[in-house]
Every structure is written in C-alpha cells, then in structure tokens.
Structure 1
Amino acid sequence: MSWLANLTQTYNNNILSVGRFETKKNGREYALIPVAHTTQTAHIEVHLDGKGNFVTAYVRDKVEGSTIIPCTEAAASRTSAPVPYPLFDKLVYVAGDFNQFCGDVKGTPYDDYLAQLKAWCDSPYSHEKVQSVYDYTRKGTLIADLIAEGILHVDEQGKLRDKWAPAPSQESIEKPPIFNVLASDQSSAFVRFAVNIPGEPEARLWRDIEVQQLFVQFYENSLVDMDICYVTGEKLPVADKHTSRIRHSGDKSKLISANDSAGFTFRGRFRTSREAASVSYMASQKGHNALKWLIDRQGITIDGKVFVVWGNQRLELPEPHQDALELREAAQELQGFDEDSEFEEDFDLGANDDKSSNSGHVAPAGDTTSKAFAREIKKAIGGYRYDGEHYAHVTIMVLDAATPGRMSITYYQDLNHEDYLDRLQAWHTSCYWQHRYRKDKDSQWTTFTGAPATRDIAFAAYGPRASDKLVKGLMERILPCIIEVGCELPRDIVRSAVQRASNPVGMEPWEWEKTLSIACALVNKENEKEGFDVGLNTETTDRSYLFGRMLAIADVLERRALGREEKRASNAVRYMNAFAQRPGRTWSIIQSNLQPYQAKMGTDARYYNSLLDEVGAMLSLEDYTDKPLTGLYLLGFYSQRNDLYTSKKATEATGTSDTQQGEDNDTQEEN
C-alpha cells in the first residue's frame, strides 16, 4: 500500500489546493477534489434564487462543464441500479416531471434523490443554498422550466426529442446547443445548480468551499463501520467500495476492487475482502483524488496508459520522457531565467562546442565538448535539487486498464529525490547526440545536443505512423533504462532504429535526419563505455566507425559536385542500406559511381580524395569483407559528415566559404 500512502501524503501536503480549480493549456479545468466528492461533466446549469425559485438556465460544453459533485460510496460505484448523487445528477434523478416528458423509469430515482437531499438539509451540516436546491427540486417542474427556457426541446407528442431532426419548415433553424453537447438523447443530460443569494460572493455550488466541507462532515459522520486501515495503521471508518474515474470523468476502471462475492470467493483465499486488505474511507478518498489531480496536472496519457511522476515535497520535477530541449525550457521557466541571462549563455546544449571541436582532432570521452555538455545538463537538473528534508522522495507510476472495469499499476518506483535526479542526469549525459528536428518555444528550428524524448525514440524505431499501442509500450520499456541502475536498452529497439536509419530512400529527408540522430543517440548509449562523441574521433580503428566515415566522405563529395540546385540523393545515401549489410561489395560500387564527380570537381576534390585514402588506410585488409556493420557506422557517418560541413580545414581545402557550406548543410537536412 506504499503507493496509496504516498498519494495520501501528497493530498495532505497540498490541502490548500483542495476544491480550487486550475486550468490546463487546452482550457479544461481541474482541481484537487475534496473527500467524498468526484467530478462530472455537466450539460445544463440551472440558476435559482435563495427561496428555491427558477431564475434561468444555460447549456455548458465540455470545457465549461467540469463540475465537482458530492458523492457517496454507493453513487461512485453505481451501474444499472438507480443510486443518486447527493446534489447534482442526471434529469432522471433531479426532475420530478421526468415520467411526463420521457416515459416511465424503473425504481424510484427521483424519490431516492429527494430523500437523500432532505437528510442532508435536516442535519447540522445543512446550508441555505442546499436548502434552496431541495425546495426547488421537490416542486417537480425542472424539465418543464427548461423547455420554457428553450434549453430542452419536445416533439409533436410533447416528449423530449431523441435527436435534432427538424421538419422541412424548420431546416433554416440553427441546431439547438443541447444537441451539440450530448452524446445521446436529452434525457441523459446532467444538471448542476447555482443559487444566487444577495451578499454571497459564490453562487456556483460546485465551487463553494463551504458547501463542500459541510458535505464532507455530513457524510463522514454517517460512516460507522470501523476497522484497521492498512495505509495509516489507525482504526477508522472503512471503505467497502473505491472510486473510479481516475484517468478521466468517463473512466470506470478501479485500482481497488473486490466484488466476487459468490462461487470462488476471493479465489478461495479469504472469506471477506477485508482479510486481504482494509483501507479507510479517508485514505482511499485522499489517495485516489490526489492521483486524479496529478494525472490532470502533470500526467502523460497515451492510448489509456498514464505516466505520472511527482515528488512528495516538490511536485514539479523533470519528466523522464522529455528530451534535453524540453528539460532546458522547463529549467528556465522554473528558475525564472530570461533569454539574455548567464544561464542561457551557458546552457547552449553543446552547439557552439561542437562547431569548435569538429575540426578533425580526437574527441574521446572527457573532451571539452563532453564536459561542457555534462555541465549544462547538471545545471538544468540542479534547479530541481531539494535543500530541505533528507526524506524527500519521488514516485514514478504507470497505470493501464486491460478491461473497462479493472486498472493496474504496471510500473511503480519510489526513489530518493536526489537519486532520481542523479539517474536522470546520467541518462541525459549517456544517451545523447546532436539533433535538429525540434522547434524551441519561439517556434524556431533549433539544434540541440542531448537525449531524445522517448516518444521520438518510438517514432524512430517504428516510423512516424506508429500506433499509440506501440508508442506507449516502448515508453514503458524505456522507462526502467532511465531511472534504474544497470538496466540496458532493449536491443530490438536499438536494432529497429538502426535499420530504419540505414534506409533513407524509404523516408522523407527530414524524417531520415531525425531518425539518424536518434539512432546515433541509442547506439552511443549502447556503447557508452567506448566514449564516442558527436565530435569526430580520428584515432579509433573500429571497422564499422571507419566505414561510416568513408560513406560520409563519399556523400559530401558528391553533394559538392552536384551543387545546391540538385535535390536528388547521392549514391552513398541510395546504397546506404546495402552498404550496412555488405560493406565490402557495396563500397566498390559506390567508389566507381563516385569517379565522375571526382573528375567534375577536379582539384577541388583533392582534400576529399586524400581523406578517403587516409581513412581507408586505417582499415586492415581483413576488414574489407561483407560482414555486416554494427550501429557504430552511423556514428562515424554522422560525425564525419558534420565535421566536413563545419571544419575550417575542409573549407580552406575546397575554397568554399563557411556560409556556403552551412547553407548546403541546411539544404541537405531540410529538403
């Protein structure tokens, strides 16, 4: 039960946020829900006066309709049986004239609603606004009032319309708003109430903190079944049914459930569910409501699978799934740095260091480039370091539901705060490369060095049209590699990314460049002990790395000979897939196809020819075979190509300006 204890503690630490709405980037509202409450999307908002008289009503869409509603255990778990919510509910519960306009219903949902609301009004925890709602609803005229107000619409028989199907004479009439917000017929509309009382600042009952607190006290005093809580260790009122709607308002899946009360009861191990575990009502409510809030606030949801990370002392933490550029922007926002600050200058993510270091010299691990990049990542993550209590910790949780009614925690880790940041820093400084496929916060294309986002790794491995099922599966498999010590990257993911990067002809140029840099990051992580860097390593004798360098030289030479106007791929790029599988045989083909371009360039090709000879001489005679290349050839290809486009030595040898070379590089990457 450690996950529930952590969530309960998070709820208690953020008690001042209870009941207060916040807004997402998409405009949707969310809040840390009070105990004995849940959320629902309301379609109709009814305004009353202090004496329980109808004033007006409005139709609300999904953005405006987010509503915190009082909720009992029975109502939270209701299915087909009619169990009313205590204050706000569907028309079948709150409208006394429902049968008149919609036909007969099973049971007595309206009578049950009135009885439950009356019990609240008759208790010491009543409120005049709640009394106004009771006084109005017991009149039984809600649907008639909504029809008169133009909110609901009836057909020729005086019944609520199932759908909007205007007569020929009404085709010019605009579709009523109620039919735009409902997925089914009008009878399924959910109603919330606002009570306008002079001198009262808050008319909306779903935002009235006082009303919420009064219901919590009312309901808590009605709970009498006591037992030992496995979360708190205290003897408290026990929850028999636990909440759903964890991921969103329509989610019926539960994390805690025990309902096989017949046959093989609890799989034959226990007589009652409490022998397995008993959880108090308050712990269950606080824990589940805190989880809902965290998912809305900072969770990532893909195809129903939820990834959420939070700290018990500081909620805002760097996400393990974000790339280095997102980490940079989040750190800047957290620490309040502007674009001209010293932090911005230092946090250049290695772009300037790469340009200065890619001049043909050796750049092994520990070089200035690697040290500068590590320093930048350390500075970004350093803003999240916690100077308070030593027991600060971080929780990482992944949730998914295999069926509509059951949800499971598919991954869970509870780490010390400093350990989490250290492992995140280790990930960003080992699985990194230079990338140019992201836009910054000003929507400008930017070059950054760092780890790619796990979602982008999925697209590199499986293609941009990868299903959400594939993406969420890969993100969950990569997660332990980021936050657990000694967990290696899944080899099939690295292999798939390398294979796609080796087939540029099957992709658009921008997609290939993105796949290539991400594949290089994965290969670099897989071979982190070798100490490869974005800067060109001119001393390694690794066969695959050297063949990759030769392929890059052939590619750049042909691109120079073709000029900027020619957009077609070079022979080196076209034969890249075959070259990775059979380098010895394929290199002879590439070299023969390269001769016309060498002749066309004349003396301008001298530097490239000598560089080819120099790299080729580093290969032994036994290396010129058709043994397939490892992923390290991509590192050699990328680093050599990057060096040729940025090296001053190459510029002086070919007589091409730095600007011209940069433009050629941009053209190659963007087209």
Structure 2
Amino acid sequence: MSWLLNLYKTYELNADRVGEFEEYSSDQNYTLLPIAHTTQQIQVEVVVNEKGDFLSAQVVDENDATTIIPCTEDSFSRTSAPVPHPLHDSLQYVAGDYEQFVQPYKKGKNLYQDYINQLGEWASSSFAHKKIIAIYSYVRKGTLIHDLVQEGVLHVDQNQKLISKWKNSFGEKPDIFKVINETQEKAYVRFDVHLSNEVNTKVWKDKDVFDSFINYYKSTLSEREKDICYVSGSVLPKTEKHSSKIRHAADRAKLISSNDSINFTYKGRFKEPNEAANISYDVSQKAHQALKWLIQKQGEKIDQRVFLVWGNDETKVAAPQKDTLSFFHDLGIQNPADFLSEDRTHEGFAKKVNQALAGYKKDLKYNQKSEVNILVLDSATSGRMAVVYYRNLQKEKYLENIESWHKSCSWLHRYKNEDKKIIEFIRAPALKEIAQAAYGPNVKKEVQKGLVERLLPCIIERRNIPLDIIRSVYNRASNPVSMETWQWEQTLSIACALMRKQYEKEEYNVSLDLKNTHRDYLFGRLLAIADVLERKALSDDSKRATNAIRYMNAFARHPARTWEIIQANLQPYQARLGDKAIYFNRLIDEVGSKIRFEDFNNKPLSGIYLLGFYSQRYELYNYKSNNNKNEGDEKHETFAK
C-alpha cells in the first residue's frame, strides 16, 4: 500500500494545483482533478443566465473538448447500467424532450427523470452553488434539444427527429457531425452560466463549483459505514468502487477491483472484499487522481506499460530510463547538446554531471529527507491493471544511483544534427536505445517494454546488467554487415557503453589506453588498424565494407585464425598506400608484439575487444597533435604529413 500512500501524499502536497490546467502538447492540456470528478470529451456547450433562461449554444472545438465533470461512484463506473452524472452528461440524460426528438427510452426507464432528481437534490442542498441552481432551473424546463435545434447546433429531418447520419446530398456537413463519431443523440453537453456584473469563470473550471459538489457528495457518504483505511490508518467512509481511466480517457483497467465475486479474487480467504483491502473513498480518489495527473504530466508509455518517476514534494524528477541529454534537460539545463559538445573525456563528462546535480539540488531547494517513487504499471487484460515494479528511495540515494549510471555507462556517441553535421558527445544511452541495440530498430513494443523494466533496477538499485542483454548487444555490434553503417555505429557505441559498465572496475575510457595489455583489448586494436588501413586505401566514395568489417563476426569467435585471413587480405591495400602504409605496418607490429604467445589463440573474445576496437579506430580517425604527446605521437605526425 506504500505506493497508494505516496500518491495520496502527493495529492495533498499539490492540492493548490487542483483544476489548474497545464499544457503538455500543442493542443492538449492536463490538470490535477478534484476528487469526485472525472474528465469527458464534450461536443455541445449550452450557456444560460442566472435565472435559468437559455442564452446560446455552440459546438465545442475538439481542442477544447476535455471537460472536468462531477461524478458519483456509480456514474463513474457505469457501463451498460443507466446511471446519470450529476451535472454534465449526454443528451439522453439531460434533455427533457429526448423522447420527442429521438425515441422512447428503452424498457420504460426515464433517464432524464433520474438525472433531474439527482441534480435537484444537489441544487436544493445547503452546499448548492448559484450556478448549479441556475442550470437546474433551465434543465427542468425540458426544452434542451428544442433550443439546440433552434440555435442550429443540432439538426432534424422532415419528421422533426434528430438526423442519425449526415448524407452528402443534404449539403455541407454541419459542425456537430465533424466532432462526433456517433449519432447526434450520443452528444455530450456541458453547461455554463453567465452572471451579470461578475467575472465569469467557466463552470467546469470554477473551483467553487468543484467544492460545492465535493462537500455535497461527502455529506451523502457520511451515512455510509466507516472502517479503518489500510492506507491512511484513519476511520473513514469506505469504498469498493475504484477509479479507472488511469493511463488515458478510454482506459477501463483498474488497479483495485473486487467486483468478481464468482471466482477466487478474494473468496476462499475472505468473506467480504473489504477484508482483503479496505481503502477509504477519500484516499482512493486522491491517490488515483494524483496518479492520472502524474502520468499525463511526466509518465512515459511503451505499448500499454507506463513508467513513472515522481517526488512527493517536487513532482518533477529526472527519469532513469532516459539518456544523458534528456537527463540534463530534466534538471533544467536549456541546451544540453552545447553543454556536452566540447567534452571529449569521461573525466570532463563526470564533472558536468556533478555540476548538473549540484545545480538541481540548489534550484529545487533540495531536501535530503524528500523521497522519489518509481512506479511501473501494465495491464494483462482490458479490465485489470497491475503494479509491475515499485521502489521508494530517499532522493539523495536516488540521485547518487542516477549519477553512478550516467558516469559508468557513458561512451562517445556520434549523431547527425538537423544541419546534417556530425556531432559527438559522451553520454549514457536511453533504455529504449539499448533495447534497439539488443534486438534491432524494429523491436516489438512487448519486447522493448520488458527490457526497459529489467534494466530499471540496474540504475535504481545498481544491479548488474543482465548477461543476455549484454550478449545480444555484443553479437549485433560484432556483426556490422547485417545492418546499415550508421545503425552499426550507434549499436557499437551503445555496446561500448554497456561493456564499460560491465567492466566498471577497470575504468575503460574512449581515449586509447596504450598501456593496456589485455589480450582482447589488443585484438580489438589490431582489427581497428586493419579497418582504417584498408579504408584509407579505398577511394573516398567507396561504400564497400573493409575486410576487417566483413570478418568481424568471425574474428570475435576465432581471433587468431581470422586475423591470418584479414592480414593476408591487407597486402594489396598496403601496396596501394606505399610509404603511407609504413605507420600502419609499424603499429600492427607494435600492438601484435604486446600479445603474449600463449594468448594468441582462437579463444572467443569478450566485449573488451569492442572497447579496444572503438578507441583505436577513434584515435586513428580523430588524432590531432598537442603539446602533451603520448607514445606514438611522432608516428602520427609523420603519417599526417
């Protein structure tokens, strides 16, 4: 229940943001919903005055259709059962003349009467708001569809019945048929009230109206049986109906449900469902509303699986599944690419990460006692959802683990920007990128979300990366002929990042380590030298793979035997380069001499060879002389001339 408790706390700490809409894309927004409220896509808006007289009506633009509406437990959970919402609802509930313009209610059930009775109880209560009284005064007249037809919002045929489907022969399609997928009688209606001599706030955005219904509805719950809430520990009115629409408006899956009394959901161990888990209405509402808000605000979805990270006090927290650039962006750095573009060393990169975290702690008035929650949700069926993964950490510990990941799993990556220029920067890859490196760019969503879930503990809890993932990335990086060059380059850099993480104690870096005598590292260097030598000999416009690249997969499995083949195939290119090949020949001899006689065998290479291959290749392609010369600088300068 700790995840529910932390969601409840988050709602309480952010109660001042209830009903405040925030934009999360160009045409959509989100808000922390009040309790006893939900959202609904609305097609028609009706405006009345404070006396309950009709003023105007219009078709609602799709970008403004999301509307906060009051709801009861029964109306929120309604499926086929006819249960009205308390205020805004579809025409069959709110229109008193529905049978006149559409058809008689099925089975003699008067939905309008149920609606008007329920709204009347709210309007006559001590908690009633004057806007609600005005809306009630209008709706009870029973002329809604008539007024909408007169206003040109709804359209009828020659028999004065609402047209079910608009035909091209009728002329230009009216606005109502552009925003509704079903027939006109299925349209949802929202009401607004124009008050004279007052600042008019839309009813569905008016916090006083929110509070009016919340107080009224809570007063009806006070008569309900109370019990100890397993989440808060307080004695409060209980509920057995919990929220859906968690991931999106059409989501029917619930995290908490006890309506299956036939099977063994709770029977066999408990007589009543609340004995298994008793949660109060107030806590359930606030926790679920907070969860919906956080998912819209900062959750990430892969297929139907949701990955969510949040803080109780400061909700926005750097997400672990993102790459370093996104990590810096989450911490408030405006231009992360510029922030890293001049960095070519892991030491400099580590300092940048430290600076970013230091600024984050300072800007957010960092509190060591604050907490971070990591929650993963998914549903096996359309009706049931589960918490797949949950952790709660002190923010200080969480940031330490995030920092460790970005430092230890970083490598140099090359990308083309919008101007087609190649940019290089050190960063840790995003978990989605690791999934694509392991299983290809067209990896299925089901596989991708599973891998991301498995990698989360590697960041949050500092666990080792699963060997099957490392092995898969290693195999694809060792098989460059199976993919496009740019795709292989990305896979190779991600593979190096994972190998650097796996061999964290050895502290491998992008810069070439001339003192490293590890067998696999040296074999990787030999392969890189052969690749660059042949590439230098080929024409600039040649796209043919070098022998080193073509034999890379075999080289990883049988290095000594394959190296003989590669070296034999290098002879024509050495001859073509002439004197320019002297440096490469010497370098091959130098690296080869460092491999001990007993190590020059066909034992398969570990991922360390990829690190040696990448570093040597990068060194040869990107060498620039500097004042602090290392071993072999003179040779580089001779080659450059």
Fold in common (TM above 0.5):
yes
Q: Which residue of 1 aligns with 2:445?
A: 468
- 1:140-164 superposed Cα distances (whole Å, 9 cap, x missing partner): 2323333333333345654434433
Q: Which residue of 2 aligns with 1:667?
A: none
- Counterpart AA for 2:273: S
- Counterpart AA for 1:464: P
Alignment of 1:133-532 (within 5 A): 133-155=135-157, 158-167=160-169, 170=170, 173-223=171-221, 224-225=223-224, 226-262=226-262, 266-333=266-333, 347-348=339-340, 351-352=342-343, 354=344, 369-385=345-361, 389-437=367-415, 439=417, 446-485=423-462, 487-532=463-508
CA distance in 2, matches of 1:228, 1:438: 59
**Does the Cα contact within 8 Å between 1:317 and 1:384 map onto a contact in 2?**
no
Is 146-155 or 308-317 further displaced after alignment? 146-155
Q: Which residue of 2 aligns with 1:120?
A: 122
Structure 1 residues 452 and 585: alpha-carbon distance in aligned structure 2, compared to 1, 3 A threshold: same
CA displacement at 1:62 relative to structure 2: 4.1
Q: How many residues are paired up?
A: 626
Structure 1 residues 125 and 585: alpha-carbon distance in aligned structure 2, compared to 1, 3 A threshold: same
Unaligned runs of 5+ in 1: 355-368, 657-671
Alignment of 1:595-634 (within 5 A): 595-634=571-610
CA displacement at 1:110 relative to structure 2: 1.4
**Does the Cα contact within 8 Å between 2:323 and 2:429 map onto a contact in 1?**
yes
- 1:442-501 superposed Cα distances (whole Å, 9 cap, x missing partner): 99753221210111111111111112222211111110100013x111111111111222
- Counterpart AA for 1:102: V
**Does the Cα contact within 8 Å between 1:265 and 1:271 map onto a contact in 2?**
no
Structure 1 residues 265 and 492: alpha-carbon distance in aligned structure 2, compared to 1, 3 A threshold: closer
Query: Partner of 1:435: helix, strand, or coil?
Result: strand
- Counterpart AA for 2:375: M
Structure 1 residues 54 and 438: alpha-carbon distance in aligned structure 2, compared to 1, 3 A threshold: farther
Query: Partner of 1:384: helix, strand, or coil?
Result: helix
**Does the Cα contact within 8 Å between 2:243 and 2:254 map onto a contact in 1?**
yes
**Does the Cα contact within 8 Å between 1:37 and 1:68 map onto a contact in 2?**
yes
CA distance in 2, matches of 1:449, 1:18: 41
Structure 1 residues 101 and 588: alpha-carbon distance in aligned structure 2, compared to 1, 3 A threshold: farther
CA distance in 2, matches of 1:432, 1:94: 59
Is 1:641 equivalent to 2:617 in the alignment? yes
CA displacement at 1:32 relative to structure 2: 0.6
CA distance in 2, matches of 1:444, 1:132: 63
Structure 1 residues 607 and 443: alpha-carbon distance in aligned structure 2, compared to 1, 3 A threshold: closer
**Does the Cα contact within 8 Å between 2:478 and 2:556 map onto a contact in 1?**
yes
CA displacement at 1:318 relative to structure 2: 1.0
Query: How high is the sequence identity, in percent, across the aligned residues?
Result: 50
**Does the Cα contact within 8 Å between 2:372 and 2:395 map onto a contact in 1?**
yes
- 1:331-366 superposed Cα distances (whole Å, 9 cap, x missing partner): 344xxxx76xxx998x537x54x3xxxxxxxxxxxx
Query: Partner of 1:221: helix, strand, or coil?
Result: helix
- Counterpart AA for 2:499: V
CA displacement at 1:524 relative to structure 2: 1.3
Q: Which residue of 1 aligns with 2:629?
A: none
**Does the Cα contact within 8 Å between 1:303 and 1:472 map onto a contact in 2?**
yes
- Counterpart AA for 1:217: N
- 1:401-445 superposed Cα distances (whole Å, 9 cap, x missing partner): 1111111111000101100000111111111111123759x9975
Is 1:584 equivalent to 2:560 in the alignment? yes
Structure 1 residues 344 and 465: alpha-carbon distance in aligned structure 2, compared to 1, 3 A threshold: closer
CA displacement at 1:644 relative to structure 2: 0.8
Q: Which residue of 2 aligns with 1:661?
A: none
Structure 1 residues 263 and 475: alpha-carbon distance in aligned structure 2, compared to 1, 3 A threshold: closer
CA displacement at 1:388 relative to structure 2: 5.5
Structure 1 residues 624 and 152: alpha-carbon distance in aligned structure 2, compared to 1, 3 A threshold: farther
- 1:91-117 superposed Cα distances (whole Å, 9 cap, x missing partner): 221122323333233322211111110
- Counterpart AA for 1:608: F
Unaligned runs of 5+ in 2: 626-632
- Counterpart AA for 2:340: D
CA distance in 2, matches of 1:130, 1:45: 15
**Does the Cα contact within 8 Å between 2:58 and 2:153 map onto a contact in 1?**
yes
Query: Partner of 1:473: helix, strand, or coil?
Result: helix
- Counterpart AA for 1:580: A
**Does the Cα contact within 8 Å between 1:604 and 1:655 map onto a contact in 2?**
no
Q: Which residue of 2 aligns with 1:364?
A: none
CA displacement at 1:37 relative to structure 2: 0.8
TM-score by length of 2: 0.92
Is 1:537 equivalent to 2:539 in the alignment? no
Query: Cα RMSD (Å) of the superposition?
Result: 2.3
CA distance in 1, matches of 2:494, 2:118: 59
